[in-house]
Structure 1
């Protein structure tokens, strides 16, 4: 089964994107597979309300391991199956917490093997900071890698906000040639285009 990895800095909206995208594709109850950095796995079944309450939040590093859900992608008379994997938020430099360093290393290892990479960036933060400095070295390295992989798509999140729209335009200007799409993970804007991209890859 092909794997679609959702990656990005902490608090850019990765988990809420995964939950809302799964619901957009018709999922009403999630069976989440947790893959811990030490190699152990566990699973839980959650309804969508519980998933939002338990898996997403505004605190730093809410997601501390890979979290996958298996999804069906319908189109016309066909259906394709794929795995959508949420990941630990990345940060530049060496994190002081060993658990977080291991979780980030797990995310970067998964990046090497993913068939599809959905790279979330905070377009509002890009506008606030005034350019690519908002992304940091890791984001720019992922974007550089993405330019060499057909399965890469950069999702500029929070473009439902005026600052996010301006940030998206800055990204378009400064990241020429990058496959870039404006979305709102919260309000599901741009999800049809994300679905079309994923369909071509899985």
Structure 2
């Protein structure tokens, strides 16, 4: 089964995207496989309300390990299966917390292995910083690694906001030739295009 990794900075909206995208594809309950940095795994089932409450939130580093959901993509008479993996939010510098260093290292290792990379960035933050380059090197490095894979797509989140729209236009100028998609993880804008992208890869 192909693995589609969602990666990006902390608090860009990765987890709420995963939950809402799973619901968009028809799930009413989801079984999450947690893969801890020490190699242990556990599974847990959620309804969508509980998943939003327990897995997503405004706290920094809410996600501290890989969290995978098996999903089906129906199309015509066919169905294709893939694994959508949420990851620990990345940050500039080296975290002082050992657990977070291990979690980020796990994310970076998965970035090298994934069949498909969905790289999420925060469009309003890009606008406020004056461009991706001024926001920091982290996202540029992720984009460089991701673009080596045919399945790379940069999800430019929060473009439902005016600042987000301006941030997207900045990115279009800054990252010419990069596969960019404006979305709203919260309001599910752009989900049809994400589905089409994943379908071609799995």
TM range (shorter): over 0.9
Cα shift at 1:125: 0.4
Per the alignment, in what secondary structure is the counterpart of residue 149 of structure 2? coil
Cα shift at 1:147: 2.5
Aligned to 1:57: 57
Aligned to 1:120: 120
Report the TM-score when normalising by structure 1.
0.98
Aligned to 1:101: 101
Cα shift at 1:130: 1.0
Q: Does residue 36 of structure 2 align to residue 33 of structure 1?
A: no
Contact 1:55–1:62 at 8 Å: present in 2 too? yes
Per the alignment, in what secondary structure is the counterpart of residue 37 of structure 1? coil
Q: Does residue 189 of structure 2 align to residue 189 of structure 1?
A: yes
Aligned to 2:110: 110
Rate the CA distance shift 1:134–1:41 in 2: closer, same or farther, 3 A. farther
Q: Does residue 154 of structure 2 align to residue 154 of structure 1?
A: yes
Q: RMSD of the alignment, in Å? A: 0.8
Report the TM-score when normalising by structure 2.
0.98
Cα shift at 1:134: 5.2
Cα shift at 1:149: 1.7
Per the alignment, in what secondary structure is the counterpart of residue 144 of structure 1? helix
Structure 1 gaps, min length 5: none
Aligned to 1:176: 176
Aligned to 2:91: 91
Contact 1:121–1:135 at 8 Å: present in 2 too? no
Rate the CA distance shift 1:172–1:196 in 2: closer, same or farther, 3 A. same
In structure 2, distance between residues paired with 1:9 and 1:124: 13
Structure 2 gaps, min length 5: none
Per the alignment, in what secondary structure is the counterpart of residue 84 of structure 1? strand
Contact 2:132–2:139 at 8 Å: present in 1 too? no
Contact 1:125–1:134 at 8 Å: present in 2 too? no
In structure 1, distance between residues paired with 2:83 and 2:134: 29
* Deviations, residues 19-56 of structure 1 (Å, cap 9, x unaligned): 00000000110100000000000010000000000000
